[in-house]
Amino acid sequence: MKYDLFEHSCYNLYTIKTDRFNTNRIEIVFKLKCTKENLTYTALLFDVLTESNSKYKTKKELSRALEDLYDADMYSSVTRVGGMIIASIIIEIVNFKSDKDLTRKAIDILFSCIFNPHLINGKFSYKVVEKMKRSMTNDIKSIKEDTKQSSILEALKCLNEDSPRCFSISGALDVLENVREDSLYEFYRTLLNEADKEIYVVGDIDPKKIDDYIYESIKFNSITEKNNYVYLDEIKTKRIKKSVLSDDMQANYVEVYSLNGLTFFEREYVVTVFNAIWGSGSLESRLYKALRGKKGLCYNVNAYYQKYDRCLIVHTAVEPQNVDKVSKIINKTLIEMIKTDATDRELLSSKMMITNSLMLIKDSPKKLVDNYLFKNMNLIEDEYKRKECFNKVSKADIKKMAKKIKLAVTYSVGGNR
């Protein structure tokens, strides 16, 4: 794989030339500060931009044009990384050796959606905006059907309702209902001018030719400052306990732990190894063995390390009458992690699992782009350095770090059916 960077005044183009895949991936990335308004506007805007453009004025026409390009797959992705929104529009196309023009045609459609949207009197189409708002409204309202996701968001809300930690990636209803086609267009102009922008291309390409072609076609004309709002503030609250009845069979039980005062090495490496042993690993994790293997109290239990949110989240679904028992067992496993050494086997297998997963990055165009992007934001080190550092984590490092893990929220919901 050959990595290249083409620096331009208004954007950078990063290319990865590889014949590993039979597709080419082109991704335009926008980075901006995460507020409830920005998140909702970005999600809606990206839905609107991928719905139509000035040439293909309806979803049907645009979809048919993409299908004609051997089903070029164009979609948007809006994610939250701590205090930042990373929003992309992506197109992935089959790389036919016999039709080199396909990639150029795909870039044309992608850029046309971003730079030549379907406008009526200088605003987005009312019909399209309202249609996408309805669809988003349904998505937001249906979050409650995903009991795991919604219980985690509700638990995080107990800490601070205004923190990006508890923002739903689907957007916020109170913001969405006030969006109009002109305010959305204003946001679009601001995004193009002020957001930090990067382009990534992965595939069997000629990087220089791609750079030339993109440079000719792109319409970014403002230089933006690179900001980094990624790491959220530490969690500093007294312990909160909340229990809510809802019409579900099982109780969804969530614990949020703060991770304050971590060193760089702990934050980047020790917590990940700790968590592979404690809760994020296979059915061999301590939480799995204690709750599922020995007692049959649950089907699933997972601990999620939210590095940029500076917290750990544990989720499980259990019989309502077992919530207290489960809470005590989780607490006991954490105390054991603090007081006793991990076994040699646990340390070895968790490190192997983590370092093996680093190598899998090269098998996915999406993972390659994400990895490159995070490296460019100085959020991670390169794979080989990371592998070396994970292997350096010791039993003592794990115990020392585990002492810094403090329970901030216990939240249970459900069990009333």
Partner 1 sequence: MKKLKILKTDEVIYYEKLESGLDVYMYPNDKMQSFYLTYNVRFGSMDNLVHIDGQKNKASFPHGTAHFLEHQLFKNDDGSAFYEFSLLGSSVNAYTSYDVTCYEVISNTCFKENLETLFKFVNTPFFDEKSIQNEKKIIANEIKMYEDLPDAVSNFGLEYNLNINDDHKYTISGTIEDIKNIDNKTLYKAYETFYSHENSFLVLTGAFLPHEALGILKEIIKKYPGVKPKKITRIQKREPLKVFKKKEIYKMNIDMPKINIAFKIDKTPLSKIDTFTLSTYINAILDLKFSISSDFYEKVTDEHVIDGNIDYSVEIRDDYIKIGFKYSSDYITESVNLIKKAFLSKNITKSDVERIKKVYIASYLRAFNDVISIQESLASDILENNKINAEIIDIYNGMNLKQINEIDNTLDISNESIYIIEAE
The site for partner 1 (CB under 8 A) is made up of 19-23, 58-60, 63-64, 67-71, 94, 127, 131, 134-135, 137-139, 141-142, 144-145, 147, 246-250, 281-284, 292-300, 317-319, 345, 348-349, 351-353, 355-356, 359-360, 362-365, 414, 417
* Closest distance of CB 298 from partner 1, Å: 5
Q: Are 42 and 179 in contact (CB under 8 A)?
A: no
* Closest distance of CB 105 from partner 1, Å: 13
Quote the tokens at residue 124. Answer: 């987005």
Whichever of 70 and 213 has its CB closer to partner 1, that residue is 70
Quote the tokens at residue 214. Answer: 């993109």
Whichever of 163 and 349 has its CB closer to partner 1, that residue is 349
Whichever of 84 and 301 has its CB closer to partner 1, that residue is 301
Neighbouring-strand partners of residue 313? 256, 304
Whichever of 204 and 381 has its CB closer to partner 1, that residue is 204
Q: Are 64 and 79 in contact (CB under 8 A)?
A: no
Q: How many CA atoms lie within 13 A of 215 on its CB side?
A: 13
* Closest distance of CB 38 from partner 1, Å: 23
* Closest distance of CB 147 from partner 1, Å: 6
SS3 at position 264: helix
Quote the tokens at residue 292. Answer: 């599922």
* Closest distance of CB 384 from partner 1, Å: 14
* Closest distance of CB 390 from partner 1, Å: 11
Whichever of 1 and 223 has its CB closer to partner 1, that residue is 1
CA distance 376 to 12: 10
Whichever of 68 and 174 has its CB closer to partner 1, that residue is 68
Give helix 101-115 / helix 59-68 axis angle, nearest 10°: 160
* Closest distance of CB 349 from partner 1, Å: 4
Helix (H) or strand (E) holding 201: strand 196-203
Instruction: Return the sign of the alpha-carbon dihedral for residues 323, 259, 155, 151.
Output: negative
Helix (H) or strand (E) holding 62: helix 59-68
* Closest distance of CB 263 from partner 1, Å: 26
Q: Are 95 and 203 in contact (CB under 8 A)?
A: yes
CA distance 302 to 287: 8
Whichever of 259 and 287 has its CB closer to partner 1, that residue is 287
Whichever of 406 and 417 has its CB closer to partner 1, that residue is 417
Q: What angle do CA 370, 372, 376 make, to 5 degrees?
A: 115
Sheet holding 240-244, edge to edge: 240-244, 405-414, 251-259, 311-318, 298-306
SS3 at position 362: helix
Q: Are 304 and 280 in contact (CB under 8 A)?
A: yes
* Closest distance of CB 372 from partner 1, Å: 16
Q: Are 216 and 13 in contact (CB under 8 A)?
A: no
